[in-house]
Amino acid sequence: MKTPDWVKNAVFYQIFPDRFARSQPTIKGQWQASSLEGWDATPTMQGYKGGNLWGVIDKLDYLQDLGINAIYFTPIFQSASNHRYHTHDYYLVDPLLGGNVAFESLIEAAHRRKIKVVLDGVFNHASRGFFFFNDILENGPHSPWLDWFKILDWPLSAYDGSKPANYVSWVDNRALPQFNHDNPQVKEYIMQVAEYWLNKGIDGWRLDVPNEIETTGFWSEFRDRVKAVNPDAYIVGEIWSDASKWLDGEQFDGVMNYLFTVPTIAFTAGDRFNKEYAQPYYSPYPAISAQEYANRIKDLLSLYPEEIKLAQLNLLNSHDTPRLITTVGEDRASMELATVLLLTFPGAPSIYYGDEVGLVGGKDPDSRRGFPATENWDISVLKYHKDMIALRHQYPALCTGSYEILYAQESVYVFARVLDQEEIIVAVNTGIESATVNFPITKLASQPNQVLLGSGRFAWQTEAEKNHLEITLPPRNYLIVK
């Protein structure tokens, strides 16, 4: 069982391409949109804001300064939707994003800065505009591509919701016809798409709703084909629950770790989380205590082997959830404490674009706002993101060290990350009052005494030949000691 080493030391940045940045290309044949939403206007379901890969290239220095060394892009292929989960052509980058020429420039510029690039693979379903399905719409039962999809009856109704669709689509959304993965040609097509973009330089695939593909051996073959092109390619699945079935060492390297997200928000935000923002598999309430959080983390860490554990994609929110800062009523401390736990947890942390400057947003599509202008950044939020990311890069224990829970009572949670001689203690107080705790420590070889970040006091004591640590934490604060 082996996962890519670079992932264990990565800090990801998730980009929704239509909303992150836009720049004017100077290359002939780069077509410009004639109708766009205002960049700062409230997003709509179908409106485009015109973000592109040229804009991302212009912001790579910003990302590098932030400490980012890997980017996960939501889909970039030609599509008739601003989120591009309705794929038209798996071999063409959307013209609005700059096309394949912009992608090639992006890969070169990112790799020059040692930034990895992971693309979103939407392989469960295509779109009504995908050539093979469009041929069926045009030719009906005479199409040569019938067995690429799951046709139930005739006539097909791709747009008129008053009539039966007569084909299988993802969650009954007739805009997203589902592939017939039992067709060997379909499987081979998807495998070749994956290989093609790896050969073009990408560093991995994030797989959209991979649990929906139930064809026996599909993801095992996918892994074999991907790793044959690039053994260090990252394969990460969108699985919101226990992913043990897919993390057997023969399919994915990791998953989007919502099992970390939910308890972390429930602990750090407590009753501040607005239940109106809850959704299936994303319900960070009721509030939980430090003891309950410790139990949830223990259970999570016991789910997967160590090698897999270090390759999880950990996150606080994404394009599929409301922004954390909005769900907690813009309580800055909730966001900061959750970010501390994110950036000190085993696995690769992922920052959703704009979180680092305080970008707000409710449910989709509001969670996909345009990246704000510099004058609208929350500089204090940017500072602690930079500080925490720099700390993670500086100390290997925060990336690949063991995770030892030292204390968990009421609002105070204390743990250590240990790698060889490097021992780092992280203490968090989510309560609204100052807290002082004293507890024995038997799991550490040293007595960390250098404050790296945060506020509070600590003192080592020896009682009955045992080391005790006393920590005083201000309300809604944290302390990291080396």
Under 8 Å between Cβ of 255 and 348: no
Q: How far is CA 411 from CA 186, 388, 458, in A?
A: 52, 22, 17
Catalytically annotated residue among 18, 94, 120, 238: 238
Under 8 Å between Cβ of 253 and 310: no
238 is catalytic: yes
Of 378, 292, 283, the residue nearest 327 (C-alpha): 283
Helix (H, G, I), strand (E, B) or coil at 372: coil
Catalytically annotated residue among 94, 120, 203, 208: 208
Burial of 359 (0-12, 13-18, 19+ CB in 10 A): buried
Long-range contacts of residues 174-178, Cβ cutoff 8 Å, at least 24 apart: 174/128, 175/81, 175/86, 175/127, 175/128, 176/85, 176/86, 176/125, 176/126, 176/127, 177/125, 177/126, 177/127, 177/128, 177/130, 177/133, 177/149, 177/150, 178/124, 178/125, 178/149, 178/150, 178/212
What is the helix (H) or strand (E) element at residue 389, kind and residue range?
helix 379-394
The residue with tokens 């805009």 is 175
Edge-first strand listing for the sheet containing 348-352? 254-255, 234-237, 204-207, 116-121, 70-73, 12-15, 348-352, 313-315
The string over 120-130, giving b where at least 16 C-beta atoms fall within 10 Å of a residue's C-beta and e elsewhere, is: bbbbbbbbbbb
Of 25, 18, 93, 20, the residue nearest 54 (C-alpha): 25
Q: How far apart are CA 339 and CA 384, in angstroms?
A: 9
208 is catalytic: yes
Q: Considering just the CA atoms, what is the radius of gyration of the chain in Å? A: 24
Q: Which residues are catalytic?
A: 208, 238
